[in-house]
Amino acid sequence: MVKDQAVWPVQAIEAAVAPWLPGITVEILPEVDSTNSELMRRARAGQTAPVLLVAECQSAGRGRQGRGWASSVGDSLTFSLGLPLAPAAWSGLSLAVGVAVAEALHPRLGLKWPNDLWLDGRKMAGILVEIAAGPERYAVAGVGLNIAARSAQGFSTPPAALRDLWPEADAPGALLRMAGPLVRALRDFEGRGFAPFEARYAARDLLQGRQVTLSDGTAGTARGVHPTGALLVETAQGLQTITSSEVSVRPAS
Ligand code: BTN
């Protein structure tokens, strides 16, 4: 099926983020390996101006923990926001990004720790936050959002899509909705850390009170998130704080 060419409201997006990040550039690429990889390469080459980079097609999209991220032209939104950032501490940043994206999209979206967006038991979006070292730190927050239903192949549960909520949804409209809140969240995090996001995360926490199994085999009950953004799990050995680099979490069946 031939899909309509997307029309990206570049000026409206720039205007939406300008209150928190004046001078940001919005750039649309027909294809790149990965918007996160591209911004990390640019940062390592000294290009650290704020940019919101959208790819209509990613040939090597990356997910968390070394996984890939598949998307198809027109049926997905894939973008990364890159900006210099200097928070007092970094822990909780990726959760704050998840809160901002979920709030901007729909009240029914929940967060599966650390920052996956789920709708009715199915994943709709993923977030990959990376930090480039250098004279000043450069944060890259990448978002992959399913706009239309994706093939269920390779998934234990078929992914959700924004059109499950809004049949008319499209990638440019979704980006326009999210861009301002996302930039604002990064700025808030820079000034105040995870504190402004704690209660908002708790309101969407899908794991709270549920049995979870960690990838190292530990089992327990999820007890919300610590002020650092770590997952709290009550186990037979006591309350454990789990950081995102250690484990992945699946609700026990
Ligand atoms: C995950 O759920 O594992 C995170 C997925 C993140 C995907 C987005 S798509 C835009 C940006 N570029 C990438 O290569 N990854 C992120």
Residue 110: CB atoms within 10 A of its CB come to 18
Per-residue pLDDT tens for 180-208?
999 999 999 999 999 999 999 999 999 99
* Tokens describing residue 242: 């789990």
Among 143, 155, 215, 245, the mutation site with the greatest number of ligand 1 atoms within 8 A of its Cβ is 143
Question: What pLDDT, on a 0 to 100 scale, did the predictor assign at position 204?
Answer: 98
191 near 164, Cβ under 8 Å? no
Q: For residue 245, is pLDDT > 70?
A: no
120: left (phi over 0), alpha (psi -120 to 50) or beta: left
Residue 249 has pLDDT above 80, yes or no: no
| DSSP type of residue 117 | E
Cα 84 to averaged position of ligand 1 atoms, centre (Å): 20
Span 82-93, average pLDDT: 96
Give yes or no for a contact between 78 and 59, defined as CB atoms under 8 angstroms apart: no
Residues with catalytic roles? 64, 123, 250
Residues with CB under 6 A from ligand 1: 34-36, 58, 61-64, 67, 69, 78-80, 116, 126-128, 142-144
CB 222 within 8 A of CB 233: yes
Say if residue 41's pLDDT is above 60: yes
For atom 9 of ligand 1, the residue with the nearest CA is: 144
State which of 128, 143, 175, 250 you would mutate to test the pocket of ligand 1, scoring each by most atoms of that ligand within 8 A of its C-beta: 128
Give the pLDDT confidence of 117-151 residue by residue, as tens digits. 999 999 999 999 999 998 889 999 999 999 998 76
